Amino acid sequence: MNFLWKKRKKSPVTSVQQEATSVQNVLSADNNLHHTSDKLSFKIQSVSETGPSRQQNEDSLLHLFPGHDTQTVFAMVADGMGGHNAGEVASSMACEVANAYIKRQYTLANTPAMLEILMQQMHQQIRNASQQNNQYQGMGTTAVCVFIKDTEAHFASVGDSRIYYYSNNTLQQLTTDQTLVNQMISEGKITVEEGQHHEMKHVLLQALGTVVQIKPELSNTAIEVKAGDKFFLCSDGIYDMLSDEDLLQLLSMPSAALTMECVKALCTQRRARDNFSAVLMEVIQFNENEQQLETKEQNVFV
């Protein structure tokens, strides 16, 4: 089930208080990467915060340019669960597996198959670890990822983290929340309004490592990206605090860096009840006169 919102003729997002600058970004300067290709250029911004209501951050992020060129990019958000440190272990393990796998397999022609194999490998390794270590029993993680090669984007999802696609002043939710409440809404047992405040809102139907078998949600066809398009990957800690209209206006901002500062400030100001993490992938036109940012390490893994 896809959701689409069109930009309304409203005033720009109101200025966010200076809290945005007082909350230290986990990734510091390394969370802003800009790599260019012959046709398109990708800017990546990311944020991952424990939040004002939690003691530890069980989310993990990954974004990388796996090839020698910069026409291929991958990003992922994982939201761990399991109590104690197990959630952090599960999400971190998922990113470690993805980091190694994408570097090896990014040249495969069948991208949906590649992403499904990735999801299955992450699932199996987390499940094996939970069975071999009593401290990790029951741990798991959500995972959403986007892979862009040349001008074609594909995505995959397990759990209730989300991917939004911003293009032509419209915002589309690409992924379906794999939750019990969303299933109840689809079956007509409750309304969308009832689901928004349901006590079982975040009960997952599947997550990496928590069930015997998973069935990842995959993009059926490639999304043809162009300059100005944006992909926003986030954990539920983000969309629990920011409405559809909030996200549409935030992603309409001309500066991706400002967008993420506002996301961080708003979630903190609204007393986010969970960790909140996001990756923003922005597609811009290649400018040969623009100096490329050189980094010793292209891959960011938190």
Q: Which of 52, 59, 54, 41 is nearest to 234 (CA)?
A: 59
Give yes or no for residue 105 having a pLDDT over 70: yes
Q: Is the dihedral of CA 110, 114, 115, 120 positive or negative?
A: positive
Give yes or no for residue 66 having a pLDDT over 50: yes
**Greater confidence, 39 or 125?**
125
The β-bridge partners of 80 are: 141
H or E, element range at 192: helix 192-196
Contact 25, 32 (CB under 8 A): no
Mean pLDDT throughout 59-63?
Answer: 98
For the chain, domain boundaries: 3-286
Antiparallel, parallel or unpaired: β 40-49 and 33-36: antiparallel
Give yes or no for residue 178 having a pLDDT over 60: yes
The pLDDT score that the predictor gives to residue 38 is 52
Give yes or no for residue 113 having a pLDDT over 80: yes
Q: Is the dihedral of CA 108, 111, 114, 118 positive or negative?
A: positive
Span 131-158, pLDDT tens digits:
999 999 999 999 999 999 989 999 999 9
Q: Please tell me what DSSP assigns to residue 28.
A: G
Mean pLDDT throughout 94-105?
Answer: 98
Mean pLDDT throughout 88-108?
Answer: 97
**Greater confidence, 200 or 293?**
200
Percentage with pLDDT > 90 across the chain: 70
Topology (CATH) of 3-286: Phosphatase 2c; domain 1 (3.60.40)
Look up residue 34 and give its two tokens: 């800009």
- Measured between alpha carbons, how far is 262 from 145 in angstroms, rounded to an integer? 23
- Measured between alpha carbons, how far is 97 from 157 in angstroms, rounded to an integer? 15
pTM of the model: 0.84
- Measured between alpha carbons, how far is 41 from 274 in angstroms, rounded to an integer? 33
Span 183-206, pLDDT tens digits:
999 899 999 888 888 888 889 999
Contact 110, 97 (CB under 8 A): no
Chain centre to alpha carbon of residue 238? 10
Give me the torsion for CA of 206, 251, 33, 216, rounded to 10°.
20
Backbone phi, then psi, for 232, in 5-degree steps? -120, 110
Model confidence at 160, pLDDT cuts 50, 70, 90, reads very high
The pLDDT score that the predictor gives to residue 72 is 86
Contact 33, 51 (CB under 8 A): no
Mean pLDDT throughout 156-183?
Answer: 96
Mean pLDDT throughout 265-274?
Answer: 96
Span 216-251, pLDDT tens digits:
999 989 999 999 999 999 999 999 999 999 999 999
Mean pLDDT throughout 176-189?
Answer: 93
AA letter at 169: N
Look up residue 175 and give its two tokens: 């992924």
